[in-house]
Chains A and B, each alone.
Chain A
Amino acid sequence: MEKKILEMIAELCGDEIVLEDGDINLLENDLIDSLDYTDLLVQFEEEFGIVMSPSELTREQMDTPNKIVEQVMARVA
């Protein structure tokens, strides 16, 4: 599942680097923008049935692939 999440992020960012470097800062490296975040949350909802509202998370909690994985895993569990 972790792999699946990372693949979804990679697809959205259009860069495979997120599969290699889980701690890369997505915002600082322009890999993701606010529209992408919204997209991503919608995709998580469709794929895993978890509801994540954009407002309940700060950007800092979601700014690396690993952090995003962590957030999603916590909700699925």
Chain B
Amino acid sequence: MNILEKIENHGKMQGDNIVMEYGAEKLTYSELWEKSDRLAGWISERLGDSKKPVLVYGHKHPMMLVCFLACVKSGRAYCPVDISMPEQRIGDIAEAVDNDIILGTEENTHNLKGYVSLDEIDRISKEHTPVDYSKRVSSEDTYYIIFTSGSTGKPKGVEISLENLNNFTDWSVSLVEDSQEGCHDEMRDINSRKSQLTFMNQAPFSFDLSVMDLYTCLAMGGRLYSIDKKTQQDPKLLMDELRKGEINVWVSTPSFAEMTMANKEFNGEEFDSINTFLFCGEKLGADTGKRLQELFPNSGIYNTYGPTESTVAVTGIKLDDSLFGKGDLPIGRPKPGTEIYIFTEDGSIAKEGEKGEIAIAGNTVSKGYFKNREKTSEVFIEDNISSFHDSKDSDETKKAMMYKTGDEGYISNGLVYCTGRIDLQIKLHGYRIELGDIESNLKFIEGISQACVVPRRVDGKIRNLVAFVVETSDANAPRKTYDSSTAFQKRKEIRDKLKCQLPDYMVPKKIVFVDSLPMTINGKVDRKKLEAMV
């Protein structure tokens, strides 16, 4: 598909339908199309020949979408930056993007230069002459740039082309369609009452998980229902908002779902509109998947996997009973147009079931990091093996690339499994330990809902392991507190159970009970923060 043509078509055919709703703010498909045409016209005029990407700063305001589309209609990539990002990082990104203008839908609290405020955007998008359609980004052009944290501190901008996005959306739409097909009859009745599907938007637009809800929604002519940061942090507000949203397609990180599942009213009876769950962004625990399946027996739950560098996600699987009780959940099968390879440490291709680094080839692999050749060549390698590398229908001058993810995994019976980050592998007293392995085993213990294991370092050297665990609880019940002897007994119990599953050197020395795990702004567990706590 061509996503822009799809949206244009929805603008014509169902122009009065809501495309995005956030609080009292609503935007229709025709408004989205027209306003972005006008704003694009202004951007073209203002920036002339410069095709530098445009930073779009904000949170969940529907005008964000207008800004995104306006950029690409003017032939420029957009770079979304969320208000929750730290100032230093925003500064780094603005510097890298280096454009005269920044589009903003929230207050300019960081005094960014060239800031075009919401009022101005509103005015321009009503009054300015629309853009010429010939200016639009073409399939090979960069469509968006999303910055991810680099291990060295400076963020890296991943360039995703229109073609990448089109290929991803083809697949993500097929997942939602598959789920609607598979819906229980009862559920289909509910759906047929509405012509439009409602997608939940949890992730900030600066996190590419949001591409999964936003563009799948736009492709399908759906309504995007955004839940802001403040609401996400308040269980009561969140439940109210989720009810009000009448969401059909839930898209979030597993951590966000786990947090929501702590509310006992979150189930398929109370929330009968939800028929699809799409997870991405971090590991979906088998226990979480199973529990959710029990709570929502009529919904399709999909586990997907992929790095930002290959457009959101490249593998997926619908959960069913056959997958439970066998340890970790698979991340699924590669989507059409993607091949997954596992490389062992010596660079050879792993045998069936053998662990190694996951590498991705195919039509959603990014062209690389924005203005960062060095980092690009470290992880994007020439693809000489996949069935795409000699494909005749693609542009022959362009070499096919493969992305080395840094994730560890294996393939078994056609299903891909991700076992963790290669860099989450640590060495303790000479033993190689996968922290994710310990976490999975912790979560299998009854009474534990979340776990994160971090190394404790003394003088930079890993000394021992500390596990942070969250106990399964009812969000409405008072918080559990233990006197030290009960706490000791509980820790001992957990350690004893772990010892039945893991070698002694993998059993964390210290176990800390916490009410919740700290989250990064993207809704993943904040390991750095935990490490600083030990």
Contact = CB atoms under 8 A, between A and B. Distances in A.
A15 interface: yes
A20 B510 contact: no
Contact of B485 (A14, A21, A33): A21
Contact of A17 (B463, B488, B507): B488
Interface in A18-75: 19-21, 29-30, 33, 35
Contacts of B488: 15-17, 21
Contact of B487 (A16, A21, A33, A35): A16
Given A20-B484, A20-B485, A21-B485, A15 B491 contact: yes
Nearest to B509: A14
B261 interface: no
Contacts, number: 27
Nearest to B458: A39
| Main SS class of interface, A | loop
Given A29-B492, A30-B495, A14 B487 contact: no
Contact of A19 (B484, B491, B492, B510): B484
B466 interface: yes
A47 to B, nearest CB: 17
Contacts of A30: 492, 495, 507, 509
Q: Looking at chain B, what size class is its interface with the partner chain?
A: 10 to 19
Contacts of A29: 492
Q: Which of A20, A29, A30, A33 has the most CB of B within 10 A?
A: A30
Nearest to A15: B488
Nearest to A21: B485
A17 B487 CA distance: 8
A35 B507 CA distance: 16
Interface in B451-496: 463, 466, 484-485, 487-488, 491-492, 495
Given A20-B485, A21-B485, A30-B495, A15 B510 contact: yes
6 contacts: A15-B488, A17-B484, A17-B485, A19-B484, A21-B485, A30-B492
10 nearest A-B pairs in the assembled complex, by CB-CB distance? A14-B510, A17-B488, A16-B484, A20-B484, A17-B484, A15-B488, A20-B485, A17-B485, A14-B509, A30-B495
Given A14-B510, A17-B484, 14 more contacts: A14-B466, A15-B484, A15-B488, A15-B510, A16-B484, A16-B487, A16-B488, A17-B485, A17-B487, A17-B488, A19-B484, A30-B495, A30-B507, A33-B509
